[in-house]
Amino acid sequence: MRYGRLVPIVGSSPAASDWRRVLVVLFVAQLLTAIGFSTIFPFLPNYVEHLGSVTGSPILWLVTLVFSVQAFAMMVASPVWGALGDRFGRKRMVERAMYSGAVTILLMGFASSAEELVGLRLLQGLTTGVMGASASMVAAAVPRERLGYAMGLMQTALLSGVSVGPVIGGFLEYAFGYRAAFLVTATLLLAGGLLVSTLVREHFVPPSREGRRRGIGGFFEALGAVIRSPFVASIFVVRFLAWTGRSMIIPFLPLLVAALMAGAAGAGLVTGLAIGASSAAGMLTSVALGRLGDRVGHRRVALVCAGLTALTYLPLAFVTSPSALVALYALTGATVGGVLPTLSALLARVTERGSSGSVYGLDNAVGAGARGVSPLIGGAVVALAAGAAAEPGASAYAAVFLAAGACFALALAMVALLVPARVDEAAGGVAR
């Protein structure tokens, strides 16, 4: 099969398009995006400290803002972009996310202060959102009975990039400085956007305007229709819990590693190994568990994997060595690989194909909101565990794993109680 030709997407019907080609192009584009973003993500706190503050604000506060403002901005903007995708075409939304990401990341490499970096992260959150845009396009093109496989493949692209990016970023920062990493990331995002622009042609058929409100009223009407769909709100809550549990660990993982190693050299390398091992494990399980969900039901796979994830986080709260941390954290990556893609597939199963932009715009907002609040929750857990200590120790940082496990345990309970088994029994079409 050759992929050099334009890929048509006619309307919203998978039968009218070669969905496999669409999936391949979006897989590669998401892989490049994931490598790029994860190249700069691990050292952002160090970059904030390197830039310094021009207003005298505490560096810890600016580090928190750098992570949180982007997430909260994306939470607000994603539903808007998703609804626009349903009206004007989903390919445009993927291109918008990638090209605007390339520009904002490039500008970050030339930031002159931490406050300027915070402003650019805010702009990034308002204008990007590659994951949501790509998921929307996949959901509109792929047959319902293959969505588990497709979402698992997109998760594999994400995790593959996340496993490679930190290593590339660490090398670039060490050899050439921070700016080189931002330049490489911008180039990768630009390349992903060009792939979509040149290899995918979308013959988008706008929805009929009959009976549809225009303007802001129509926008909120479309989002309201999605949220009122059976089981959608419950799945969004579960997605929020899963993203919160996964995301709250990242800001404190480097600090935990440094505490375990007692200031010894190589803490950054161990942190990269832990993130890379976890992502690689998720990469290996995502597609397999997505396929399994297509056969036995995505709800069933989500239940089992959420429970296993909650259990695997428990021993991490008592870890005492870097090697044990890397091994156990890799295990959590393998189980999370069966949670997020299956929940994405469930969303597509319980909603209409023509509303995929709104669905995954809202889903991206849910994930962004979780990434915004998770550092705050994690920080509160660390402070509570540290008590009156002047500086948190390894045990205080490791307490975040207990909170993450609790999030997945709650997600398990919500899927079991609020998402009925008949969702798995619906074959094709929309589960009702």
CATH number for the domain that contains residue 285 = 1.20.1250.20
Name the phi and psi angles at 399, rounded to 5: -60, -20
On whether the pTM is more than 0.85, the answer is: no
Cα 231 from Cα 153, distance rounded (Å): 24
Where residue 6 falls among pLDDT bands split at 50, 70, 90? Answer: very low
* Domain-located, residue 72: yes
* Domain-located, residue 268: yes
Where residue 272 falls among pLDDT bands split at 50, 70, 90? Answer: confident
* Domain-located, residue 420: yes
Amino acid identity, residue 27?
F
CA angle, 30 then 11 then 74, to 5°: 40
| Burial profile 67-84: b = 16 or more Cβ within 10 angstroms, e = fewer | bbbbbbbbbebbbbbbbb
Amino acid identity, residue 295?
R
* Domain-located, residue 2: no
Does pLDDT of 432 surpass 90?
no
* Domain-located, residue 432: no
**Mean of the pLDDT values across residues 374-384?**
87
Query: What pLDDT, on a 0 to 100 scale, did the predictor assign at position 2?
Result: 40
Closest CA to 35 of 192, 247, 178, 188: 188
Closest CA to 238 of 172, 133, 309: 309
Domain range for 346? 7-425
pLDDT in tens, 58-86: 887 888 788 888 888 998 999 889 888 88
The domain tally of the chain equals 1
Q: How far is CA 399 from the centre of its chain?
A: 23
Show the tokens assigned to 105: 């990341």
Show the tokens assigned to 4: 């050099």
Does pLDDT of 210 surpass 80?
no
Where residue 403 falls among pLDDT bands split at 50, 70, 90? Answer: very high
Where residue 426 falls among pLDDT bands split at 50, 70, 90? Answer: low
Query: What pLDDT, on a 0 to 100 scale, did the predictor assign at position 387?
Result: 87
* Domain-located, residue 253: yes
* Domain-located, residue 401: yes
* Domain-located, residue 312: yes
